[in-house]
């Protein structure tokens, strides 16, 4: 804990890896590519889950649970889906181990081979649409608005805590509709829910847009996304919402009888966010001292560190702060009084800075005399003496201010890192020197998109929903273009 982090300016990637471990968020496990989410990290994820779950339910969704395993044949039913997901998945081939007769410990029992292999779900469209076939007969059964909180597995060769792990936690919404229009509205609604969550809870500004055809989800007609910008100028896709058309309904033969008695294929959406959001949260706000958390997602809002000599003084301080703690808790805040006697205050200060607790209060004998508390805010690393009788209202306002301040800081950073360019030279120059989003004209072809990615590693993050029509020419091919799209290097 006490060891300092590598500064961001020196090695941003190293800074991130160290921070995630030192702030007690997560660590690598003994299983390749799989992480352990530690209690402090999991507490943040629980707060994310609670906020999202409420928003899902407010928009009419219910939770359910579908199997972890997907029969291999299911995955093959939707052609583009299998291409996208079969490549990197965990395959269950046997259902029993046994003691080796030659004394080599336990081995896979060759007699327990499955007739059909099972895939650990990389996403659940196939198993869910196989189920929906049984649930949907008539227009009366529609819409179906279901969400699932689950773990999924996508085999990854290069993994990074939260950002890219073989197993990750997520939610996946899967909805079924009678009309195309309704499905499109649903996909847009959930993109908006994600954007609201990112901005209001995570304090992470995002750009809403559409993915290009080559960046779409495997099996989608259209992929909506929210894109965030990290402090190193790289973009991070924070959530996606897919309009799936009738692709899965056709693959799994899911039809409904209309009011007029006609048989029609059902329209679908799916949408998800994952523990990747934890990575976005860390990389957007944190600094060289450690984590910076938005109060709305902080497991601990306020930590109180007593400054004392001897047990008697500690008891006096503990007694003194009790009514203040009660008051703060009555406001719905989580308050920790750190009375550990084996650690010095300075050590504790550094620990809570590293863990991103938004507000730290220090209290010693002299503060009692003065009728004040020393209140420090994590985001600005500033402190102030606050009159004891104003403490609760001050803290409540302070937390509100921290939430707004870190959002505004992230927004300012992003605003100054969206650069319009009009030539490929300029594009490459900005990409290497400044980074961030680059708004440039593109001819709409996958060929130019692929060539730019090949040469610069930048991808089209999205076609922003609020893009203005503007005549221009593609920075790569020179062909005509009607609007700018956003490029960036990305996580």
Q: Using CB under 8 A as the criterion, which residues of the chain lie in contact with a copy of itself when the complex forms?
A: 27, 29-31, 34-39, 42-43, 45-46, 62-76, 82, 86-98, 105-106, 108, 117-120, 127, 130-131, 134, 140, 146, 150-151, 153, 155, 167, 169, 342
Rounded distance between C-alpha atoms, residue 40 and residue 37, angstroms: 8
Residue nearer to a copy of itself on the CB measure, 26 or 431 = 26
Least separation in angstroms between CB 100 and a copy of itself: 11
Least separation in angstroms between CB 88 and a copy of itself: 6
How far, rounded to the nearest angstrom, does the alpha carbon of residue 78 sit from its chain's CA centroid? Answer: 27
Residue nearer to a copy of itself on the CB measure, 115 or 311 = 115
Cβ 465 vs Cβ 210: under 8 Å: yes
Residue 332's Cβ-count burial label (10 Å; 0-12, 13-18, 19+) is exposed
Least separation in angstroms between CB 377 and a copy of itself: 26
Two structure tokens written together for 4: 């300092």
Residue nearer to a copy of itself on the CB measure, 160 or 482 = 160
Rounded distance between C-alpha atoms, residue 184 and residue 279, angstroms: 29
Residue nearer to a copy of itself on the CB measure, 134 or 158 = 134
Two structure tokens written together for 276: 């990747």
| Other beta carbons within 10 Å of 73 | 10
b/e for 200-223, b at 16 or more Cβ within 10 A? Answer: ebbbbbbbbbbbbeebbbbbbbbb
Long-range contacts of 418-426 (CB under 8 A, 24+ apart): 418/486, 420/484, 421/475, 422/472, 422/475, 423/475, 424/475, 424/476
Least separation in angstroms between CB 138 and a copy of itself: 10
Least separation in angstroms between CB 10 and a copy of itself: 27
Which of 161, 179, 177, 178 shows the shortest CA–CA distance to 169? 161
Return the DSSP state at 10: T
Residue nearer to a copy of itself on the CB measure, 137 or 456 = 137
Residue nearer to a copy of itself on the CB measure, 261 or 471 = 261
Cβ 406 vs Cβ 379: under 8 Å: yes
Least separation in angstroms between CB 76 and a copy of itself: 5
Residue nearer to a copy of itself on the CB measure, 279 or 444 = 279
Least separation in angstroms between CB 272 and a copy of itself: 17
Residue listed under structure tokens 């959001």? 277
Residue nearer to a copy of itself on the CB measure, 132 or 491 = 132
């Amino acid at each position: 804990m006490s060891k300092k982090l590598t500064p961001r300016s020196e090695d941003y990637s190293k800074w991130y890896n160290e921070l995630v471990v030192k702030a007690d968020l997560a660590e690598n496990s003994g299983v390749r590519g799989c992480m352990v989410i530690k209690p402090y990290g999991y507490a943040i994820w629980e707060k994310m889950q609670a906020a999202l779950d409420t928003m899902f339910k407010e928009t009419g969704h219910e939770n359910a649970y579908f199997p972890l395993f997907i029969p291999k044949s299911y995955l093959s039913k939707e052609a583009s889906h299998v291409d996208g997901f079969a490549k990197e998945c965990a395959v269950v081939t046997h259902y029993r181990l046994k003691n080796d007769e030659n004394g080599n410990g336990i081995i896979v029992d060759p007699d327990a081979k499955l007739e059909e292999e099972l895939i650990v779900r990389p996403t659940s469209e196939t198993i869910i649409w196989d189920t929906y076939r049984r649930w949907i007969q008539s227009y009366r059964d529609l819409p179906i608005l279901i969400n699932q909180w689950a773990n999924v597995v996508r085999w990854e060769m290069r993994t990074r805590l939260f950002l890219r792990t073989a197993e990750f936690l997520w939610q996946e919404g899967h909805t079924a509709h009678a009309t195309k229009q309704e499905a499109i509205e649903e996909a847009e609604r959930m993109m908006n829910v994600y954007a609201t969550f990112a901005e209001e809870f995570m304090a992470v500004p995002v750009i809403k847009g559409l993915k290009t055809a080559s960046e779409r989800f495997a099996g989608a007609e259209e992929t909506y996304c929210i894109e965030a910008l990290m402090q190193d100028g790289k973009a991070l896709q924070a959530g996606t919402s897919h309009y799936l058309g009738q692709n899965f309904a056709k693959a799994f033969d899911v039809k409904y009888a209309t009011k007029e008695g006609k048989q029609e294929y059902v329209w679908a959406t799916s949408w998800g966010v994952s523990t990747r959001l934890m990575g976005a949260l860390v990389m957007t706000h944190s600094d060289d001292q450690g984590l910076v958390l938005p109060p709305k997602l902080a497991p601990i809002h306020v930590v109180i560190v007593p400054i004392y000599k001897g047990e008697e003084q500690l008891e006096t301080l503990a007694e003194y702060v009790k009514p203040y703690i009660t008051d703060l808790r009555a406001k719905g805040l989580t308050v920790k009084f750190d009375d550990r006697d084996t650690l010095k205050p300075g050590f504790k200060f550094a620990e809570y800075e590293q863990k991103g607790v938004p507000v730290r209060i220090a209290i010693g004998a002299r503060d009692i005399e003065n009728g004040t508390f020393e209140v420090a805010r994590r985001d600005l690393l500033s402190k102030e003496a606050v009159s004891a009788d104003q403490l609760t209202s001050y803290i409540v306002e302070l937390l509100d201010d921290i939430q707004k301040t870190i959002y505004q800081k992230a927004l300012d950073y992003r605003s100054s890192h969206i650069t319009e360019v009009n030539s490929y030279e300029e594009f490459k120059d900005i990409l290497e020197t400044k980074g961030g989003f680059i708004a440039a004209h593109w001819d709409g072809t996958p060929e130019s998109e692929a060539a730019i990615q090949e040469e610069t590693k930048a991808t089209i993050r999205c076609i922003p929903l609020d893009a203005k029509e503007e005549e221009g020419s593609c920075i790569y091919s020179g062909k005509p273009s009607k609007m700018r799209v956003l490029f960036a290097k990305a996580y």
